[in-house]
Structure 1
Amino acid sequence: MNAKAASRTFDIINTVILTLVLFVCLVPFLHIISISLSSNAPILKGLVTIFPVEISFEAYTRVLMDPMMIKSLGYSIYLTVLFTVVCMVMTIAAAYPLTKTELKGRKIIMYMIVFTMFFSGGIIPEYILVKQLHLVNTTWSLILPLMINPFYLIILITFFNSIPKSLEESAELDGSSHFGTLVRIILPLSMPIIATLSLFYAVNRWNGFMDTLFYITDPDLYPLQLKLYQLIVNSQISDQLQMEGSQIVQVLPESLKAASIMFATVPILIVYPWLQKYFVSGIMLGSVKG
């Protein structure tokens, strides 16, 4: 077998394997969509797989008509944007000085950062700290503890180190300060990695759940994920009541849960295509030092 035929065979095998992996990943997603769009009878009979049966939009109507769900959506968007901006500002502010070899204690700081990737104080000390800082039931309790991700910080440091030092030296000769060099030269050249890390931070905050469960008890500060959790718990109670002979609700809890999951998933899926062009290049550039 010559090299061209071997390459074609390899491409075909890869295509088949990746298609199967894609199908396996899509099946649960399609199943949730189908349940959210199906009427009660097919769901009860177990007829819904990856295609909706007897299409009904009642579950989505219930979700969209819930004022608390809409309020949670708006708050989640606000929280995600604020979290991403704060995290990126702090990550950039930490990464740029750590690229300077003349910074005293640079290696010790890097060792401390790496240490936090493997060891932490745990949930209880973190909760005590947040409570003593009077951050419980505030937006900042969901931002400050996660403000800098060590792994993302190291990626950004690696990317900054890949930028030719001659550019910074030229700026310094022209009288530019460190802050001016960062803003005028480093950041414009770093847009791919900044967009990539922003997407990572945004997705982490959008999907974040455990910290909201610990720190937030005020219904006005419920993010969408916590609201979804409450909906699932209430749906399980409704399931139990139906099993005990209570009246059947107009929309099945399973359909309502599926519609809520889609409602929480679609916004972040809409954002991803806008940043996709930066995604691969940002990861590759941030992982290899030039």
Structure 2
Amino acid sequence: MNQGQKKLEGLDYVLLTLVIAAAIICFLPIWYTVAVSLSDKSAVAAGQVNFVPVGFTWISYMTLLSESAFFQAFGISIQRVLLGGLINFVLTILVAYPLSQRDEDFPGRRIYVWILIFSMLFNGGLIPTFLTVKALGLMNSIWALVLPMAVPVFNVILLTNFFRSIPRELREAGVVDGANQWYLMLRIYVPLALPALATITLFSIVGHWNAFFDGFIYMNRPEHYPLQTYIQQLVVQINMQNLDAATIIELSKVSNKTLNAAKIMISMIPILLIYPFLQRYFIHGIMIGSVKE
């Protein structure tokens, strides 16, 4: 028994060492990006920056934050995350609940499941999607950013499998007591599916926040760009007019490499703030929701 405990303790130390090593490997690129964003452009161009800033300067962040367009784009991204996340949340539940029922309770269920799977594997493509959005008059509006991805099929499948893992006896007890489908869904299934709902909410938030390509496609004016699209097209442009010598010297320390590093760090902050609150549900939700019984 003692030898078994010693072996187990030794295995725990090995696993702990591997986890710490993996955490360090994941953290080092972030720290390197921070060092680049705080370094002088000449040091970055010369490859002198490792994990300590060289020629420490805040000018890359000051350049980003001094633009009013940055805060406008930030507000559009917040609006997109809130609106798009809410739409994803509601529609995912409304689709996943009926698909989680038995065939005798929902005739044709398998047909709808295959339609969803087919739509996840195959789609009309970029040009038909663009033409559809344009024909609907959604160009240059927030709806063009949230409606094309209103029903994330992967999230639907994840939540459907989670709903199917809930004991059917709970549903039968509710039916015996006279509960209708809305009551069963909102008062039994949804409260028990908090881990899965937290997981798909995290997926939706990250997906909407990191998306930038659709901003280029559906927005014709820069003032309508979400944050990721804005910082993707932002390059170093120094207007020498109406600038004093000290300001020109400071701006000369900015390059596209240091500015891109600052972009990455600023765009990561909201996700880093949200993730700790959802992380405890994440593993449990994705493990159960990914298994089909």
Residue identity matched to 1:188: P
Aligned ranges 1:87-236 → 2 under 5 Å: 87-101=88-102, 102-231=105-234, 234-235=235-236
TM-score in terms of structure 1 length:
0.87
* Deviation for aligned residue 1:109: 0.8
* Deviation for aligned residue 1:194: 0.5
Instruction: Identify the range of structure 1 (152-161 vs 170-179) with the bigger mean alpha-carbon deviation.
Output: 170-179
Structure with more helix by fraction = 1
Counterparts of 1:5 and 1:117, CA distance in 2: 49
Counterparts of 1:14 and 1:131, CA distance in 2: 53
Residue identity matched to 2:163: F
Partner of 2:241: none
Task: Give secondary structure in 1 for the equivalent of 2:31.
Answer: helix
Counterparts of 2:183 and 2:199, CA distance in 1: 23
* Deviation for aligned residue 1:271: 0.5
Counterparts of 1:283 and 1:189, CA distance in 2: 14
Partner of 1:48: 49
Unaligned runs of 5+ in 1: 239-246
Counterparts of 2:221 and 2:178, CA distance in 1: 51
Deviation by residue 1:16-55 (Cα, 9 ceiling, x = unmatched)? 4444443333232111100112234533443211122243
Task: Give secondary structure in 2 for the equivalent of 1:147.
Answer: coil
Counterparts of 1:7 and 1:52, CA distance in 2: 42
Counterparts of 2:224 and 2:86, CA distance in 1: 19
Instruction: Identify the range of structure 1 (268-277 vs 50-59) with the bigger mean alpha-carbon deviation.
Output: 50-59
Residue identity matched to 1:84: G
Counterparts of 1:97 and 1:41, CA distance in 2: 60
CA contact (8 A) 2:155 2:200 kept: yes
Query: What percentage of residue pairs aligned between the two structures are identical?
Result: 35
Partner of 2:242: none
Residue identity matched to 1:134: G
CA contact (8 A) 2:216 2:225 kept: no
Unaligned runs of 5+ in 2: 239-247
Counterparts of 1:281 and 1:100, CA distance in 2: 22
Counterparts of 1:113 and 1:3, CA distance in 2: 49
* Deviation for aligned residue 1:219: 2.4
TM-score in terms of structure 2 length:
0.87
Task: Give secondary structure in 2 for the equivalent of 1:74.
Answer: helix
- The size of the alignment, in residue pairs, is 278
* Deviation for aligned residue 1:217: 1.7
Instruction: Identify the range of structure 1 (13-22 vs 179-188) with the bigger mean alpha-carbon deviation.
Output: 13-22
Partner of 2:291: 288
- What is the Cα-based RMSD across aligned positions, in Å? 2.2
* Deviation for aligned residue 1:14: 4.0
